[in-house]
Amino acid sequence: MTYQAEDGRYERQPYNRSGRSGLKLPAVSLGLWHNFGDTRPIENSRAILRRAFDLGVTHFDLANNYGVPYGSAETNFGRILREDFTPYRDELIISTKAGYDMWPGPYGEWGSRKYVLASLDQSLRRMGLEYVDIFYSHRPDPQTPLEETMGALDRAVRSGKALYAGISNYSAEQTAQAARIMRELGTPLLIHQPSYSMINRWIEDGLLDAVEEAGMGCIVFSPLAQGLLTDRYLDGVPADSRAATSRFLSADRIDLDLARGLDEIARGRGQTLAQMALSWTLRDPRVTSVLIGASSVRQLEDNVACVDGPAFTEDELGAIDKITEGYTAR
């Protein structure tokens, strides 16, 4: 059946301006990491993407090595984009990244001009696009001058293969340096994508200030701490859970007391724990958007509903701080 987006899709989601730019992003964006590769049914991916757009989620975030095998998330997304979303391309923000290992040899990762620009060309071919809206340096390269990596981002924008440039996983100091270089080149950085959650607050120690000073937006990933901040582990570690099956999360990271304490606050707010965790990341106006992953339409709908939650009271924020104090997302 031919997909037709819902007429009221823009009434369900707030849109926030990314820093001092003219671009607005939905408060909730969809990341296509774990659940969009060849190991997952493409019809499930299609259903998630369709429902996300119907709920006002206009931003789909990818990277060159997302999916199993690498590149398959972009390939599958490109197919769904072509078959379902071609009429809506100008309503979408599509982002991708280069920085982590993608192909063998010395030119297949990090931040050299050769790798960054070759990766962008490959991503565009996989997705069947002439350009992406945002292209990121996925991580800083300790052995490549920052001027070279930023110069590659500047070239990507000037060539028309990306509309905006961003960075991810950069420290506060690196962010300030990168922003200065890009301003001098004439292509200001649009956005920073760091990890952030109630139990992973490193960006509060200088990075948010650096982003604000540079006029950049901020879109955060892993707001649910790989599932720790959901109701998935309130009663232990299920056999089919990510903690039991994935290399990205181990069972020894599960803190039942923490999860249950936070869940009690969430229920008092009329939210699930996941919804509260997402709402919490958005409480700071410097956070433009929060990235979620979804393995089902139901999970997507539950997470996107975080935008309907009430504002936090000082008592709630204090209680959350007390429960999470001293916790490190180890």
Looking at this protein, which amino acid is placed at residue 301? E
DSSP string, 89-126: GGG-EEEEEE-S--SSSTTSSSS-HHHHHHHHHHHHHH
What is the share, in percent, of the chain residues with pLDDT greater than 70? 93
What would the pLDDT profile of 203-233 be if each residue is shown by its tens digit? 999 999 999 999 999 999 999 998 999 998 7
Rounded to two decimals, the pTM is: 0.93
> What's the mean pLDDT when you consider all of the chain?
94
pLDDT in tens, 133-179: 999 999 999 999 999 999 999 999 999 999 999 999 999 999 999 99
Task: List, in sequence order, the alpha helices (H) in the chain.
Answer: 42-54, 72-80, 113-127, 146-158, 172-185, 207-214, 242-245, 256-268, 273-281, 297-304, 314-324
pLDDT tens for residues 33-63? 989 999 999 999 999 999 999 999 999 999 9
